[in-house]
Amino acid sequence: MVRRGQLPSNGAGMNTESFGNALLELYRLSRTVPLQDFQRQALDAIGARLDFDTGWWGMASRMTGQDLEIHASLPYRLPASYPSLWDAIKHEDTIADAVLVAPGTTVNFGRRQLYASPGLASLMARFGITGCLCTVTMLPELNLMAFVSLYRVEGKPPFSENERRYKQLLMPHLTAALTSNWMLHLERTRASRSATSGASLAVVDRRGMLYVADQGLSELMRREWPHWVGPMLPPELRAQLRDGSAYRGNRLTVRFHPVADLWMLDLRPLTDAGRLSPRETQIARQFSAGSSYKEIAKALNIAPTTARHHLREIYRKLDVSDKAELVRKLQHEGDELLDVEGLPTLQELPGAPTTFDRLPIG
């Protein structure tokens, strides 16, 4: 008999040493792999020790009286359309019903259970799935749940009880490693750009749910929305998130950078230069770089008098009286874009970051 919390004693590649090596690899990947690649590489590592063919790893929520909703997920060796296919049959998903009854416990579904309802049977048959190990971990502070489903296809033996227990012991570490990876990705991103006073970074899903953020986020958000408490973004930001366009408010600017199935938020206090319109910003930068108002007018296909008018407005808004002051104002804008793709992938950061929290509210 295997006691609760004890590793299975048999099964290929499933002893105590193997489990320890799996954890070491998971946490190494969390420190060294970019956010957009972590889940895939983590499942690759698990697959070297626990035989499965495809999988699904993501975040979901179920509000009182509402359906289960998937927020961000990775279909592993499955098409990108898999979440939408599941959504069409989710009311018949007996796997979800079983894991939600006992969060933290891994359920083992064989062919008979997977094909017990017509909707789930149609989804499983479409991909030849005949076995499933599924576990849910609750994240009450975010009103979310993390789930991981591992599948076997036709021709493979059912998952064993030892494999079910192995997956159950592994699940909390998968969730912890994923959260750590989010935090470290933010730390790397911040370290890769020049310092911007008062700036803040966060990771959200496509519905606007905050997963991790730095400790300055709440203060910055409340400059624009004094009563904001999270963890959902304010409606104005959720509207901008739908098309990925930047938000410019009265006291802050927000840019959205897609990263895998998530978004990185770059929030910055609105500076004096940030109060310029996009056209005024363009003219101000060209003028401070040495172009005359006539050259600017020609480049932008506007009248010289229009260019002069814009420059007068720029000087007024920025409260400057000459080009040297204008240049200084623009230099302090900190308007560089984040580099979310070109970050180092094989550089471990010393220690865990202390400036990012899983809880985005305070």
Question: What pLDDT sits at residue 1?
Answer: 41
Share of the chain above pLDDT 90, in %: 43
pLDDT at residue 249 greater than cutoff 70: yes
pLDDT confidence of residue 45: 96
282, pLDDT greater than 60: yes
* Mean pLDDT of all residues belonging to the chain: 83
Written in H, E and C, the secondary structure of 173-214 is: HHHHHHHHHHHHHHHHHHHHCCCCCCCEEEEEECCCEEEEEE
pLDDT band at 313 (very low <50, low <70, confident <90, very high): confident
Q: Can you give the pLDDT at residue 338?
A: 40
DSSP E strands in 77-229: the ranges are: 107-109, 129-139, 144-153, 200-205, 210-214
Range scoring the smallest mean pLDDT among 33-37, 74-78, 307-311, 355-359? 355-359
pTM score above 0.75: no
Q: How many residues can be counted in the chain? A: 362
List, for residues 331-344, the tens digit of each pLDDT value: 655 444 444 344 33
Residue 3: what pLDDT?
A: 46
126: number of CA atoms within 13 Å, CB side? 13
Q: Is 102 exposed, middle or buried (0-12, 13-18, 19+ CB in 10 A)?
A: exposed
pLDDT at 27 (0 to 100): 95
Q: pLDDT class for 192, splitting at 50, 70, 90?
A: low
With H, G, I as helix, E, B as strand and everything else as coil, classify residue 341: coil
The predicted pLDDT at position 42 comes to: 97
Whether residue 154 is predicted with pLDDT greater than 60 in this model: the reply is yes
Rg of the chain, C-alpha, whole Å: 25
pLDDT at 219: 86
| Residue 171 falls in which region: left (phi positive, over 0), alpha (psi -120 to 50) or beta | alpha
